[in-house]
């Protein structure tokens, strides 16, 4: 009767948990108490006992032990058979470190038979004895070196919890593993495990993005929320890699409405589906439009009454823009001018523009067009009666953005190579997309208007080293399995990117990763007149004249490896 009351029969025996055992315990104890009470009552009325108290206690303990043992045998037999049937294809792995996250990971591997891993044990520097065991697996202390310890274990790979190690240690571990031919798997920390997603999909081979030697960026969420909450925000280029991440991060700060503008139809549709699924409470509107169309933009500004504009729309591919300079003028310059004028006319609180390190001493049309846009909004800020705060943010390459080097290398490796690098000495600054967008939002809260905020991009990375490490992370050897070829610098490309020009100085801010570049601001009327002439010339598709005028507006613009190099000589002779 008590089995029926506690429904001990309802669980699947091979998946028994502590709850099932608790039900058995309650049933056994209450059976003992019920029989004991009946026995006591019978003794009072009849003067004798039916059961000895000792036999009732023994019955309770033996029956509970028998039922518990039965469940353990069934459960362990099931786990053993499942493990044995799939054990041949499982990879033998060790987990690096011993703390809450790694122990939780160890439990998941030992209990989830669907995971493609067989846990050998834990590797750590913090324990000196081999006698320790966690989740039934030994802890291996590192006595001499990490590499030597791994060699003795005869494993196929290691698992690293991403947030438990700093960049330097993580890189050293990966280098040791790659030299031994071991796979390295990255696991998010327990707080970041997606409960909706199968844990199998969250344990993935480590990527080059995971090996950036960067400190975690801390932002003032309260300040950003105060800035964004309840506001109507527009994000141009909202379907792009930077713009879409800005949208996703803005969604966390309770805006009244986000208007997402882009001219990429398919990308907008994908973003819309993503936001509906992941941010069901977010109030957003998708607008398909071109920022060079002033009439279309004016209708939107009238309709929505924006408080803040994040301007991330831009043409950014250097070689493509070098062949089509007039297109860069339409989007990077005319689009920015249109948005700036409308922000001014409709008294938008804040206009935050995303720029690039290629605007510093530009060697290509793309960088020069972005510098021209910077000059326009900076000088506009100094005009009388300007209510809007025009803020510019400038950073280097972002990992994983459309057209960036890492997805390009990854595709080449998947196709069997060769991996193409433009020059053996070329270096670039890198930042992850979430990092860059966090700093854009933070800088937006700090700007008073007219500043160019420069982000700390960390140490520059040699592209050749990046290519070699990506090949090795794929389990292949550079120059043997996958060749690396040098193709020469592309039109407008330079070996080293800069974040500040020669005459600039920087001022610190209260955020250690954000500085203010004090670039001299030009006269607005003069810049406006020159930009108007450039836009008018671009409509005639006279690319050489467009570039010549751009060089006159941006004197530091010197073409490199480009068909426009001779224009520098012409301008100097004039």
CA 25 to chain centre: 48
Residue 552 and residue 450: Cα distance in Å, rounded? 22
**Among 570, 312, 259, CA closest to 440:** 312
Report the Cα 91 to chain-centroid distance in Å.
27
Extended beta strands in 57-178, E state: 91-96, 117-124, 133-134, 137-141, 157-161
CB atoms within 10 A of CB 14: 14
Which residue in 300, 101, 72, 112 sits closest to 193, CA to CA?
101
Strands (E), 78-219: 91-96, 117-124, 133-134, 137-141, 157-161, 183-187, 204-205
How far CA 542 is from CA of 291, 323, 324, 527, 539, in Å, comes to 22, 12, 10, 20, 8
> Residue 291 corresponds to which tokens in the numbers above?
């920022």
How far apart are the C-alpha atoms of 156 and 211, rounded to whole Å? 20
> Among 248, 358, 370, 558, which one carries the catalytic annotation?
358
Pairing of strands 389-395, 284-288: unpaired
Specify whether the CB–CB gap between 365 and 322 falls below 8 A: yes
420 membership: H or E segment, kind and range: strand 419-421
Half-sphere exposure in the Cβ direction for 435 (13 Å, CA)? 24
* Measured distance CA(481)–CA(479) in Å, rounded: 6
- Secondary structure of residue 389 in the 3-state scheme: strand
DSSP H or E run through 553: helix 543-553
Quick one: 254 exposed, middle or buried, by C-beta within 10 A (0-12, 13-18, 19+)? Answer: middle
Q: Which residues of 33-68 are buried (b: 16+ CB within 10 A; e: fewer)?
A: eebeeebeeeeeeeeeeeeeeeebeeebeeebeebb
Distance CA 499, CA 405 (A): 19
- Which of 281, 308, 305, 375 minimizes the C-alpha distance to 337? 375
Closest C-alpha to 219, from 254, 249, 256, 182: 249
Residue 358 annotated in active site: yes
Q: Could you give the CA distance from residue 358 to residue 396 in angstroms, rounded to a whole number?
A: 8
User: Which are the catalytic amino acids?
Assistant: 358
């Amino acid at each position: 009767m008590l089995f029926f009351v506690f429904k001990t029969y309802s669980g699947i025996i091979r998946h028994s948990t502590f709850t099932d055992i608790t039900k058995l315990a309650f049933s056994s104890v209450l059976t003992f108490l019920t029989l004991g009470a009946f026995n006591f009552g019978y003794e009072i009325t009849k003067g004798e006992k039916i059961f000895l108290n000792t036999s009732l206690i023994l019955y309770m303990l033996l029956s509970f032990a028998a039922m518990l043992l039965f469940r353990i045998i069934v459960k362990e037999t099931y786990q053993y058979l499942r493990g044995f049937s799939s054990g041949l294809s499982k990879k033998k792995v060790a987990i690096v470190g011993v703390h809450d996250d790694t122990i939780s990971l160890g439990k998941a591997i030992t209990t989830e038979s669907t995971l493609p891993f067989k846990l050998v044990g834990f590797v750590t520097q913090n324990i000196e004895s081999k006698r320790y065991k966690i989740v039934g697996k030994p802890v291996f202390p590192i006595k001499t070196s990490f590499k030597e310890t791994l060699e003795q274990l005869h494993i196929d790979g290691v698992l690293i919890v991403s947030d438990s190690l700093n960049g330097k240690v993580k890189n050293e571990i990966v280098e040791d593993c790659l030299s031994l031919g071991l796979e390295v798997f990255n696991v998010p920390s327990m707080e970041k495990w997606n409960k909706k997603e199968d844990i199998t999909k969250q344990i993935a081979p480590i990527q080059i993005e995971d090996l950036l030697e960067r400190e975690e960026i801390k932002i003032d969420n309260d300040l950003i929320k105060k800035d964004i909450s309840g506001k109507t925000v527009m994000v141009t280029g909202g379907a792009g890699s930077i713009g879409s991440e800005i949208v996703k991060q803005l969604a966390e700060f309770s805006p009244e409405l986000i208007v997402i503008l882009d001219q990429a139809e398919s990308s907008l549709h994908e973003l819309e589906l993503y936001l509906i699924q992941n941010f069901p409470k977010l109030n957003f509107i998708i607008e398909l439009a071109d920022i060079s169309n002033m009439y279309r933009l004016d209708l939107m500004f009238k309709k929505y009454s924006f408080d803040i504009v994040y301007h991330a729309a831009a043409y950014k591919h250097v070689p493509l823009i070098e062949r089509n300079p007039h297109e860069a003028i339409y989007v990077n310059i005319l689009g920015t001018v249109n948005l700036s004028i409308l922000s001014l006319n409709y008294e938008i609180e804040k206009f935050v523009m995303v720029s690039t390190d290629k605007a510093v001493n530009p060697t290509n049309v793309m960088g020069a067009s972005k510098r021209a846009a910077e000059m326009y909004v900076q000088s506009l800020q100094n005009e009388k009666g300007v209510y809007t705060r025009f803020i510019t943010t400038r950073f280097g390459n972002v990992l994983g953005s459309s057209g960036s080097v890492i997805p390009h290398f990854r595709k080449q490796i998947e196709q069997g190579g060769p991996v193409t690098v433009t020059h053996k000495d070329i270096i670039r600054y890198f930042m992850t997309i979430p990092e860059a967008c966090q700093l854009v939002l933070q800088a937006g809260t700090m700007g008073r208007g007219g500043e160019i905020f420069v982000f700390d991009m960390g140490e520059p990375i040699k592209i050749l080293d990046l290519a070699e490490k990506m090949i090795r992370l794929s389990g292949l050897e550079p120059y043997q399995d996958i060749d690396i070829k040098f193709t020469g610098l592309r039109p407008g490309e330079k070996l080293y990117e800069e974040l500040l020009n020669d005459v600039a100085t920087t001022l610190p801010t209260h955020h250690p990763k954000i500085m203010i570049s004090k670039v001299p601001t030009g006269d607005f009327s003069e810049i406006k007149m020159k930009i108007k002439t450039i836009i008018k010339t671009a409509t005639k598709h006279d690319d050489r004249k467009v570039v010549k005028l751009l060089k006159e507006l941006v004197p530091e613009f010197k073409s490199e490896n480009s068909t426009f190099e001779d224009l520098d000589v012409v301008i100097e002779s004039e």
